[in-house]
Amino acid sequence: MNTKIMILTAFSFMLTSFTAQSSSITFHDDLDVDSVNGVVIEFQREVDLIPGEQLIEVSYSDLFQDNADDSGHWVKSEPLYLKLNVQGNEQYHLDLPELYSADDAKDFLQNPVLSLSVDGEPQDITLLSQSQLFTLLLLKQ
């Protein structure tokens, strides 16, 4: 076999294997990713993930206006946590339910159930508060 063809074939195989093993997660516009496995992430809408257990810290914030004269007010969450087991090259998307008012948003934050799509297949998932996360960690010891 020609040496150039062998090199091109090998290079093509390596390039395909590197790109095929890439997982990532994207987020709804009102969610900010704060960290992945304790590593601070700033101003990213898409984050690359490595295979294995991942702990993703997010926060929610949105501005609501009740009427045209209202300057609005923010509804913000404390840190929320998603434990995710990444297998290989999945594409994840974390989406919020429809929240029409500040009251809806406050109710949502009492029980933060979101939609996690894995390669386009949605499933409901509940994010953990910091105290719930600590409780789980302490119970495992």
Contact between residue 52 and residue 83 where contact means Cβ atoms under 8 Å apart: no
User: What pLDDT is stored for residue 136 in this prediction?
Assistant: 84
Sequence-ordered list of residues with C-beta below 8 angstroms from that of 19, at least 6 positions apart, any chain = none
Q: What is the mean pLDDT of each run of 10 residues along the chain (141 residues)?
A: 47 44 89 94 89 95 80 90 92 94 94 93 94 87 73
User: What pLDDT is stored for residue 7 in this prediction?
Assistant: 46
Sequence-ordered list of residues with C-beta below 8 angstroms from that of 83, at least 6 positions apart, any chain = 53, 54, 55, 56, 128
Tell how far CA 138 is from the center of its chain.
24
User: What pLDDT is stored for residue 50 in this prediction?
Assistant: 92
Task: Using a cut of 0.75, tell me whether the model's pTM lies above it.
Answer: yes
Sequence-ordered list of residues with C-beta below 8 angstroms from that of 54, at least 6 positions apart, any chain = 36, 37, 83, 84, 85, 86
Contact between residue 107 and residue 75 where contact means Cβ atoms under 8 Å apart: no
The residue length of the chain stands at 141
